[in-house]
Structure formats: structure tokens, C-alpha cells
């Protein structure tokens, strides 16, 4: 019984803190070493590009030749990339800043996660700004990193998924409520959205591709590099339009 309770407690942490795990970020050299000339005809707008997952998104997007517009409260953190990307300075909670970020973009990726000192409605308020700007500017593709504790009408969770969801509601109600509100906002639109519901996100690369399920996750681990590749794959060849798959490691 103690072992079961301990395992459930670990899974709760994985479910709720997965999308905002504070672990090792990529170095500038790791992000820019494989940057290629611009070869894609889609411009990506990225929120959360200076975070752990965001660094992997930038690395892969640059490697694949995407033009990028990246929001940063401290632009100097991305100065090492020079004119390879367009950096927009500001706060994602400012609708005007988000509207500027999205100008000329074809798709939007949000890898923002609730940190220790983040507002309690961070992800939902930012997505509200993004959705408004997308609709005003005629942009249809939106990809969002979220948590595996979020529920959708089509979930078919196994016992572990169900029990950890209940524990998550008790232990981290504010974060879960914000993620759930964000999902509801996004799902109510006619845009071509994908919400990636993630468990514990670990720092690091991986040669494996992430797996995805619309019913219940089969693993409670995911590497940041796997998640970034999943998101970029969804840009190039979408499989989960207007869906919220659980995304998890393909190596366990």
C-alpha cells in the first residue's frame, strides 16, 4: 500500500508539473550549432522560447529552416542568434505585444508554463490574447504545451490516470484550473489547434519520437527534445487537428 501511494504521489507531480518542469536548458551553442538557411515557407511565432522546452523548439525549427518570431521579456537572452530570428520584446499578457508577435506568422506555438511566481491565470490569459490576435490576423494553426491533468470529453483514462487526476485536483487545483480553462477557450474556437497534454518533461535530447494517445498516457515521462519534435512534426504533417493528445516518451 505504501508503495502504491508513493507511486501515485510521484505520478501526481509528473502530471501537474510536467509542462513547467524547471530543468537544464540548452546552451546557445546547442541551439544554434545546426541552424540552417531559411528554407520553409511558414513563419512560426513562438511563446516560451527562452524556456527548457522552448530551447528545443528553437533548435529544431532553426535546423529545419523555419523563419521564427519569438517573444521574450529579455531580448538579450536571444541576442546570440542575431538576425536568424525576429525577437519581439514584451509580456505575453499584453494583447498588443502578442498581436505584434503574430504579425506575418503562419502558425503559433506556445510552450509557456506556470512558474513559481507566475499569475494564477497565466496560460489561459495568454491563450486568450493569442486566439484574439489569430482570429484578427487570419492565422489558423495553434499548438500549445499543457499538462496531462487536463480532461477532455473523449478521455478514456485507466485507473492510474483517473486516480492521479483526482489527486491532482486536490494538490494543485490552481494550476490545473488554469490549464483546464485554457483548453476550454481553445476548444471553443474553429481554429486548427492541437493541445499537447504532457507528463513529466525531462531535459535532454532523444533519438526517439514521442508517442501520442487520445485516451490515456502509457508513460509518465517525456524528454523536451521529443516534445519539440512532436510539435514541429505537427506543423509539417498534422495528425491531431482540433485534438488534445497525451504526449509521452517513446523510449519507455
pLDDT in tens, 102-160: 999 999 999 997 766 678 899 999 999 999 999 999 999 999 999 888 999 988 887 76
Higher pLDDT, 18 or 159: 159
In whole numbers, what is the pLDDT of the chain averaged over residues? Answer: 86
User: What is the CB neighbour count within 10 angstroms for residue 243?
Assistant: 16
Q: Which residue has the higher pLDDT, 151 or 5?
A: 151
Is residue 233 over pLDDT 90? yes
User: What mean pLDDT do residues 10-28 have?
Assistant: 57
Question: What is the per-residue pLDDT for 148?
Answer: 86
Is residue 56 pLDDT above 50, yes or no? Answer: yes
Instruction: Determine the pLDDT at residue 22.
Output: 44
What is the widest separation between alpha-carbon atoms in the chain?
57
- Mean local confidence (pLDDT), 182-211: 92
Give the model's pLDDT for residue 201.
87
Q: Rounded to two decimals, what is the model's pTM?
A: 0.88
Instruction: Give the pLDDT score at 161.
Output: 63
Alpha carbons 101 and 119: distance in angstroms, whole number: 21
Say what the pLDDT of residue 168 is.
64
Return the bridge partners of 110, or none: 47, 144
219-224: list long-range contacts, CB under 8 Å, 24+ apart: 219/248, 219/249, 219/252, 220/11, 220/14, 220/15, 220/148, 220/248, 221/14, 221/248, 221/249, 221/252, 222/18, 222/198, 222/247, 222/248, 222/249, 223/249, 223/251, 224/23, 224/52, 224/53, 224/55, 224/56
Q: What one-character-per-residue DSSP string does 81-142 give?
A: GGGGEEEEES-TT-HHHHHHHHTT-SEEEE-----TTS-TTHHHHHHHHHHHHHHHHT--EE
pLDDT in tens, 20-49: 444 578 888 888 877 888 899 999 999 999
**Helical segments of 39-90, H only:** 52-63
| Confidence at residue 15, expressed as pLDDT on a 0 to 100 scale | 46
Residue 106: name the closest of 49, 56, 61, 52 by CA. Answer: 61
pLDDT at 206 over 60: yes
Amino acid at each position: 500500500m505504501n508503495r502504491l501511494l508513493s507511486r501515485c504521489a510521484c505520478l501526481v507531480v509528473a502530471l501537474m508539473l510536467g509542462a513547467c518542469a524547471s530543468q537544464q536548458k540548452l546552451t546557445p551553442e546547442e541551439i544554434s550549432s545546426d541552424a540552417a538557411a531559411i528554407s520553409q515557407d511558414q513563419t512560426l511565432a513562438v511563446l516560451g522560447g527562452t524556456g527548457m522546452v522552448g530551447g528545443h523548439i528553437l533548435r529544431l525549427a532553426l535546423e529545419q529552416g523555419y523563419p521564427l518570431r519569438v517573444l521574450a521579456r529579455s531580448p538579450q537572452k536571444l541576442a546570440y542568434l542575431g538576425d536568424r530570428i525576429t525577437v519581439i520584446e514584451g509580456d505575453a499578457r499584453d494583447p498588443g505585444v502578442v498581436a505584434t508577435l503574430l504579425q506575418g506568422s503562419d502558425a503559433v506555438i506556445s510552450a509557456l508554463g506556470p512558474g513559481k511566481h507566475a499569475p494564477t491565470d497565466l496560460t489561459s490569459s495568454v491563450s486568450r490574447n493569442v486566439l484574439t490576435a489569430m482570429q484578427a490576423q487570419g492565422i489558423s494553426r495553434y499548438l500549445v504545451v499543457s499538462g496531462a491533468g487536463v480532461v477532455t470529453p473523449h478521455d478514456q483514462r485507466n485507473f492510474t490516470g483517473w486516480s492521479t487526476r483526482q489527486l491532482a485536483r486536490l494538490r494543485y487545483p490552481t494550476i490545473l484550473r488554469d490549464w483546464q480553462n485554457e483548453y476550454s477557450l481553445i476548444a471553443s474556437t474553429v481554429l486548427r489547434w492541437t493541445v499537447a497534454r504532457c507528463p513529466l518533461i525531462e531535459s535532454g535530447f532523444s533519438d526517439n519520437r514521442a508517442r501520442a494517445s487520445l485516451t490515456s498516457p502509457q508513460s509518465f515521462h517525456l524528454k523536451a527534445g521529443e516534445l519539440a519534435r512532436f510539435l514541429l512534426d505537427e506543423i509539417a504533417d498534422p495528425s491531431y487537428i482540433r485534438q488534445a493528445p497525451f504526449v509521452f516518451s517513446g523510449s519507455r
